[in-house]
Amino acid sequence: MSNAILTNLVTALAGKSIKVVDLTQPLHPKTPILALPEEFASSPGFSIETISEYDDRGPAWYWNKFACGEHTGTHFDAPIHWVTGKDHENNATDTIPVERFIGPAYVIDIVAEVEKDEDFLLTPAYIENWEKTHGKIAKDSWVLVRSGWSKRKDPKEFLNAREDGSHSPGFHPDAPTFLAEQRDVLGIGVETVGTDAGQAHTLDPMFPCHALMHGANKFGLASLTNLDQLPPTGAVVIAPPLKIVRGSGSPLRVLALVPSA
Ligand code: 23J
Ligand code: MN
C-alpha cells in the first residue's frame, strides 16, 4: 500500500509547512477548577508530590505522583460523563474508537460578542451565519469556540465567580442538538473551564451542552488555549484522552496540525 500521505506529512512537519500548535493549558496545583453550586460534590484540584529527585529516595532518577479529578485543566469529556450518555456503547475513555479522537477543526470566533457580554451563548443561527463565510461544518469534525477566555490568566478572572455563580460564555440550549444532529460533529471544544456556560445551571435543560452532546454520544474538550493560532478551517485536531478504564474523561494534551501561511 502507498504511504505517500504519511511520507508527505512527516516531510511537511520537518519542513515546517505544517506547524504543530499546542492547545493545552499547563497542569499544576493552581490550575482553576470548576465551581458547582454548593449542593453538588466538587472535584479536587491537581496535586503533585515528588517520589524521588536524584536523592536518597532514588539516586539517579526524578519522578512524581499526582492526583486530580478527571475533569481538571485541559480535559476530555466522554459521553459516559453525563446520565444522558450512560447507555451508549463505547462511551468511556477506554472504549471510544481511537479514530474519533482525530478530526478537522472548525474554529468559530466569538471574541467580539464575549467582550460585550461575558454570558454570551452561541446559537445555531450564529453558526449558520459563520458557515456562509467559511463553509458548512463537515461530519466527524471538532467545532472549537474561540472566545478569548484563555487570555484570562488570573484564576479569579478565569472562573469569574459572583454570588450567583460563574459568568462565562457557552452554548445556547439549541446549539448542541444542531451540531450533533444537523452536522454530526465529533464534539466541541472551548476555552472556558467546562463546555457549558458559567450560568448553565439556570438553563433548560440544566448544563445543555453536557446533557445534549453526551446524549448524542459526542465529546467535549475544555480549557483549550491558543485557538487564536488556528485558521477558521483547515487545521486537524488530535485529542486522545488517557485510557482510564470506564473513565468519564481525563486531562490530555491537545495538538492541532496547521498549514503554514
Ligand atoms: C460536572 C457537572 C457540571 C459541569 C461539569 C462537570 C463540567 O463542566 C465538566 O468538566 O465536565 S458543567
Ligand atoms: Mn469535563
pLDDT digits (tens, 9 = 90+) for 26-47: 999 999 999 888 899 999 999 9
**Three-class secondary structure of residue 121 per DSSP:** strand
**Three-class secondary structure of residue 142 per DSSP:** strand
- pTM (whole model) above 0.85: yes
Q: Mean pLDDT, the chain, as a whole number?
A: 97
Ligand 2 centroid to Cα of residue 24, in Å, is 14
Ligand 1 centroid to Cα of residue 207, in Å, is 8
CA-nearest of 107, 109, 80 to 96 is 80
CA pair distance 78, 220, nearest whole angstrom: 7
DSSP letters, 50-82, are EEEEEETTEEEEEEEEEE--SS-SSEEE-GGGS
Residue 203 has pLDDT above 90, yes or no: yes
Residue 124 has pLDDT above 60, yes or no: yes
Sorting pLDDT into bands at 50, 70 and 90, what band is 1?
Answer: low
pLDDT digits (tens, 9 = 90+) for 215-254: 999 999 999 999 999 999 999 999 999 999 999 999 999 9
CA distances from 5 to 1, 2, 9 (A): 11, 8, 6
Question: Using a 6 Å cutoff on CB, does residue 197 contact ligand 1?
Answer: no
CA pair distance 30, 165, nearest whole angstrom: 20
Residue 214 bears catalytic tag: no
pLDDT of residue 2: 64
pLDDT of residue 35: 86
Contacts of 100 (CB under 8 A, 6+ apart): 140, 186, 219
CA-nearest of 78, 86, 73 to 240 is 78
| Residues counted in the chain | 261
Question: Using a 6 Å cutoff on CB, does residue 159 contact ligand 1?
Answer: no
CA-nearest of 141, 231, 252, 131 to 186 is 141
Question: Using a 6 Å cutoff on CB, does residue 196 contact ligand 1?
Answer: yes
Pairing of strands 142-146, 187-190: parallel
Report the nearest-CA residue for atom 5 of ligand 1: 194
Q: Which ligand is nearest to the CA of 171?
A: 1
pLDDT digits (tens, 9 = 90+) for 62-101: 999 999 999 999 999 999 999 999 999 999 999 999 999 9
Residue 261 has pLDDT above 80, yes or no: no
pLDDT of residue 238: 99
Q: Are 113 and 125 in contact (CB under 8 A)?
A: no
Query: What letter does residue 201 receive in the DSSP assignment?
Result: G
pLDDT of residue 38: 85
Residue 113 has pLDDT above 70, yes or no: yes
> Is the model more confident about 39 or about 13?
13
Question: Using a 6 Å cutoff on CB, does residue 78 contact ligand 1?
Answer: no
C-alpha cell at 194: 467546562
Q: For the purposes of burial, counting CB atoms within 10 Å of the CB of 37, is it exposed (0-12), middle (13-18) or buried (19 or more)?
A: exposed
CA pair distance 47, 44, nearest whole angstrom: 9
**Three-class secondary structure of residue 244 per DSSP:** coil
CA pair distance 239, 18, nearest whole angstrom: 18
Q: Which ligand is nearest to the CA of 75?
A: 2
CA pair distance 73, 34, nearest whole angstrom: 9
Catalytic position from the list 81, 172, 210, 214:
81
Query: What letter does residue 181 receive in the DSSP assignment?
Result: I
Question: Using a 6 Å cutoff on CB, does residue 207 contact ligand 1?
Answer: yes
Q: Which ligand is nearest to the CA of 221?
A: 2
Sorting pLDDT into bands at 50, 70 and 90, what band is 143?
Answer: very high
pLDDT of residue 3: 86
Amino acid at 165: G
Report the nearest-CA residue for atom 8 of ligand 1: 194
Question: Using a 6 Å cutoff on CB, does residue 214 contact ligand 1?
Answer: no
CA-nearest of 93, 88, 12, 52 to 258 is 12
Amino acid at 220: G
Closest atom, ligand 1, to C-alpha of 220: 11
Ligand 2 centroid to Cα of residue 179, in Å, is 18
Whose cell is 459568568? That residue is 167
At 244, phi and psi to the nearest 5? -70, 125
Give the rounded percent of residues in the chain with a pLDDT score beyond 70: 99
